[in-house]
A and B are shown apart, each in its own frame.
Chain A
Amino acid sequence: MKTKGEGLADLIARVALRDRAAFDRLYESTSSRLFGVVLRILRDRHDAEEALQDVFVKIWQNASRFGTATSNAEGWLVTVARNHAIDRLRARRGGHVTLDDAPEIADKAPTPEDHTIHASEMTQLDACLGELDAAKADCVRSAYVDGYSYEDLAARHNVPLNTMRTWLRRSLLRLRECLDAR
């Protein structure tokens, strides 16, 4: 999908003008991407299907405001999907992931082979995460990708909630420092 970045911005602009054919093409080219996002976070197919419909309703109705968030079309779509999935997850009873839930989707976290293949694609964020303790870097990644709350992270790492808050906040500040220096 990355190669289609410009095409997506164009499609979103047309969707803003209520072009149904453009909406169909936008759905066709992004629904798998966005379903992957909401399913990863919600871990429940039925829930994720409803969430994906909601996400496209939001996209249809807010396409004209897309340019106000970012000029990165794919990034905006993923952000809308992620934010919606996280809201839905938090609105569930208890508000967070049940840790007994076996993740339905394999983690795309790097395997040793990935490291070889993608070494050249390693991002600045990966590099800066690499400067943190492995456990703390994992907290940042899994909060973002799996939708873990502070409570989930504390349980996963078996530390008190306040400790987790401190860990993550300090990690975030170190990340910012590292990234902004690059």
Chain B
Amino acid sequence: MSGPQDMEDGIGPEHADDIAAAEYVLGVTGLEARRAAEARIADDPAFAAAVLAWQARLSTLDARFEDVAPPSSLKRGLDVRLFGAEARPARPGMFGSLAFWRMTTAAAAFAALVLAAGPILNPPLPPVAEAPRVATIVSEDGAAIVVVADSTARTLRVTASVPAPEGRDHELWLIAGEQAPVSVGLLSREGVTSLAFPADQDAMAALTFAVSIEPVGGSTTGAPTGPVIGAGALTKI
């Protein structure tokens, strides 16, 4: 991607920065040049000012965009993405309260602080949490054990349709590639069992989970000793 410095077109080098600012605002360059311009906006106030000046010069073109209503389902998806499934509305009446105005003052002070950090014309998206993955383990007699893995939080939620036989425990094992199974923990006899990924395991890797029937308290050998109910690979939902 060529920058303004390769001008062999009679445009003086004194204009290079301003051209780069205008090109950023117009958006005609590639991603690499855009990221470079944004890095300059963040730490070169003169360049940032040039960008804002071009934004102001060209912004009347914004009138050419016509409104188009997005599908109504989009906002729901947005709420889930931002606030999780328990999307609840904010408390009304907050803005009459003293606490609100104290917060506003604090926010104004905060805004003044970040002023030094350069204008936010193209903020980065926050890193997206990995979508959960699921392993389903089905026994020969049809009992199902579902493992939902959150690789970002390194947590596992396990649900078994039937408990282990009396006097026995279900033990969950993690298998990475060709390696020996590693014990993750015992399943509770009812409800959902929450477990953590074993500390030394890569939670993002391709993984298989298996469940075995063990004496109460689990295998004492570090490997499955009882019958293995079944195994299932983690897959994206």
Is A83 interfacial (CB-CB < 8 Å)? Answer: yes
Q: With A67-B111, A143-B28 as given contacts, are A173 and B15 in contact (CB-CB < 8 Å)? A: yes
- Knowing A125-B57, A125-B58, A165-B9, say if A64 contacts B114 (CB, 8 Å): yes
Contact A57 B117 (CB under 8 A): no
B143-161 residues with Cβ-Cβ distance < 8 A to A are: none
Interchain CB contact under 8 A, A169 and B19: yes
Residues on A with C-beta less than 8 A from B123 are 58, 61-62, 65, 80
Q: When chains A and B are docked, how far (Å) is the Cα of A70 from the Cα of B63?
A: 18
Q: Does A155 contact B (CB under 8 A)?
A: no
User: Within A110-163, which residues are at the interface with B (CB < 8 Å)?
Assistant: 123-126, 140-141, 143-145, 147-150, 153, 162
Segment 27-77 of A: residues with Cβ below 8 Å from B = 27, 31-33, 35-37, 39-40, 49, 52-54, 56-58, 60-62, 64-70, 72, 74-76
Which residues 40-90 of B have a CB within 8 angstroms of A?
A: 52, 55-71, 74-75, 77-78, 81-83, 88-90
Q: Return the contact of A145 from the options B19, B65, B100, B107 (Cβ within 8 A).
A: B65
Contact A20 B55 (CB under 8 A): no
- In the complex, what residue of chain A is closest to B20 when comparing beta carbons? A169
A49 to B69, CA, bound (A): 11
A123 → B minimal CB distance (Å): 4
Chain B, interface size category, equals 35 or more
Is A17 a contact partner of B119 (Cβ separation < 8 A)? Answer: no
Flag if B82 contacts A60 (CB, 8 Å): yes
Q: A175 to chain B: which residues have CB within 8 Å?
A: 57
Interface presence of A19 (CB below 8 A): yes
Secondary structure class of chain B's binding surface, majority of residues:
helix
The answer to whether residues A176 and B120 also contact, given A24-B89, A65-B114 and a CB cut-off of 8 A, is no
- Given A52-B70, A53-B81, A67-B111, the answer on whether A79 and B121 have CB atoms closer than 8 Å is yes
Query: Could you list 14 examples of A-B contacts with CB < 8 Å?
Result: A35-B70, A40-B65, A64-B110, A68-B117, A87-B34, A90-B30, A109-B64, A126-B60, A141-B61, A144-B58, A147-B27, A162-B9, A168-B26, A172-B19
A interface residue numbers (CB < 8 A to B): 1, 13-14, 16-24, 27, 31-33, 35-37, 39-40, 49, 52-54, 56-58, 60-62, 64-70, 72, 74-76, 78-80, 82-84, 86-87, 90-91, 95, 105-109, 123-126, 140-141, 143-145, 147-150, 153, 162, 165-166, 168-170, 172-173, 175-176, 179
